[in-house]
Structure 1
Amino acid sequence: MPLINRLDSRDAGFKTELNRLLAFDASQDEAIERATAGILADVRQRGDAALLEYTRRFDRVQAGSVAELEIPRSEWEAALAALPAKQRNALELAADRVRAYHAHQRAESWSYTEADGTLLGQQITALDRVGLYVPGGKAAYPSSVLMNAIPAKVAGVPEVVMVTPTPDGARNPIVLAAAAVAGVDRAYAIGGAQAVGALAYGTATIDAVDKIVGPGNAYVAAAKRRVFGTVGIDMIAGPSEILIICDGSTPADWIAMDLFSQAEHDELAQSILLCPDAAYLDEVQAAIARLLPTMPRHEIIRASLAQRGVLARVRDLDEACEIANHIAPEHLEISTEDAAQLATRIRHAGAIFLGRYSSEALGDYCAGPNHVLPTSRTARFSSPLGVYDFQKRSSLIQVSQAGAQALGPIAAELAYGEGLPAHAASAEYRLERP
């Protein structure tokens, strides 16, 4: 198996081979789906009792009540206070940058009044309650806490409830510290599909939420998919992706490490480089071979690059942009001299990083924009998580007496045309009689 796949857009089979490598089997595991459906139904029916049973079974945590599984705020604050100074400073600075960026996204209510006094507009309100799922155990993702909780709080959500599994009772201190920094309101030591069910349906102890956000394993993803409609969800994320457009002016070692930064997530992650310079692609491939053995997660990176990684020679940067729009990547780095100009040609990407100093890793942690991004080509029709995901819009319609005279006949005519006479009459009753 090659270290990484090499393609050339001049070859007759280029598109076919590229699409083969882009393909991701999102078929659902029937065993996981059945198990998840059973857990959700049980939590919906038995509430707290089911939640306690699954927490004992899967996390090996004994508790007499769900209230005992709530993690008190004092524990979050203690975790924050105990962090090494450099780590706490990094966490707080990242939170400040994420908060400042998302403050620009907050929408405000608006209205306008027509000449006859009719007022039309839009009222913006925040969701009442949001659930945040955070992986637990060996996984520690404080950045995900920041990226999910902070936009919700900027939007004005009164209550953000965090759930996180604690296998064998082990609570991750940096996750708890991030909850304190991000403005989380309550936290429970529960996880898996059962936690998603509790947030979606509510139990005697845990109030139902309006939306569930945050990453999780296959059972969590299956549960989010099943409860969508009862509650909102952020997205069902696929494997992580990076696409780099390069003109050959960036040090090859930098680009190799940027490819590694996604490949190290898991074997299904995808890293792609497009460049018109074949000699530069050779340099990057040599850098990959040289640097790979030094990486702690080299086995995962090697598998990812061999299965789904691509170094592709393209005719020019214009073609690179066309290919990028077809791929619609989660992360797009434009590592060229004219990055801003090329970015104007990009229509589909979750996040666009401009210039050789804009590594995707900075976006993951502290640049400010959200790292919860559309994957698997869904950037063609969806956007990064943001404040707008935690706000709702209600239309405002206040028709004046004069406005009713102008609008009534129009509405009635259309209603009669649709065969809905009560609609027509509702409008006509408000018309002034001669």
Structure 2
Amino acid sequence: MDFTLSERETYFRDRVRAFIARHITPRDHEYEQQLASGERWKVIPVIEEVKRVARAEGLWNFFMPPHSGQQHVDDSFAFQGTQLTNLEYALCAEEMGRIGWASECFNCSAPDTGNMEVLHRYGTRAQKEAWLRPLMEGEIRSVFLMTEPAVASSDATNIETRIERDGDHYVINGRKWWSSGVGDPRCRIGILMGKTSFEGSRHQQQSQVLVPLDTPGVKVERLLSVYGYDHAPHGHGEVSFTDVRVPVENVLLGEGRGFEIAQGRLGPGRIHHCMRTIGVAEVAIEKMARRLLARVAFGKRIADHSVWEQRIARARIDIEMTRLLCLKAADMMDKAGNKAAQQEIAMIKVQAPTMALQILDDAIQAFGGAGVAEDAGLAHAWASVRTLRFADGPDEVHCRAIARHEFGKYGDAGGRDAPSSGDVRVSR
């Protein structure tokens, strides 16, 4: 088994790493100053400036898939990004994850990445011209409208938002929340999942439609906080839809295809989160180690107390194991497809935030009061990563899928005794 990175993988990772070191890290203080001044919900000037530089250097839209079975022939060269594989992008996304605003500088931030992939794979040429193009240009932002406050949305078949046909329009009524990105003043388009039918197969009742946010009846009721942070200027909102009318041509792929689209969208999106989370963990272990080496307690460096040696060692082991699993999942997606890699995607989706949260928690402990405050930048990181145990499906849903797959490997054994050690087989 060869773990050596290819020339192309190394090339893009190193270019992203160098760009961040040259253009983003030195301006992080500017970002913080601009974020803290004036309105909370605004465009941050330093991001727009760095975006222009990144695009000029060809570091733009990395995540766009190299090819798509759903793509129209006449679109084949019209809507292309850098077209990295999942494995190539994984290495770049880890670098981006080290600084919270870096991803947007490369036009690679959620939820736009997932929404652009949906439009790329399933959108008509007209839908792409109207919405995919300005998203790829970095001119607008978007929101994915799926989770609802009134039902357990971890089971997407529970979704109650109604999408009812009325002549040449759909009429939408319902309420969504945790609609990430809706607080950004550039947010112009939403991809909404609701029900066009309440009969028949539970997985064929849902549809997805494009909803411009300036459509009458769309109202951002409130912006939600995450452990006290408002996550401005991105934001997570609760949005109501009251008799919202959109043309029937705004449906994606067709009625009853919403669940199918959601599954296609969430696979890559889950991996993107995990890649960035590994970057967060790397920053946390670095901050923790530097703090432990710089502080003295009870006559010696805190780093020399055995409990901290154990925590640092465990953190490094967990980061390395998680990275390997993430790269394996990305590689399987590239070689065998998202469906074949669904177990690996589920496992990394559970493992990555759990790993990062433990390391962040240890780092906060190492910093003491400064860790609980925002001085060290750890409290905000912890709050952000904690949400990932819900985003794109809670841990319990993924663990259920993992366990069922595992049980399925042995289900035909019936009540027979377990095999002896000589009968054990390793399979994949």
Q: Which TM-score bucket, shorter chain as reference?
A: under 0.3
Q: Tell me which structure has the larger Cα radius of gyration.
A: 1
Q: TM-score, normalised by structure 2?
A: 0.25
> Greater RCO between the two (CA within 8 Å, min separation 6)?
1
TM-score normalised by structure 1 residue count = 0.25
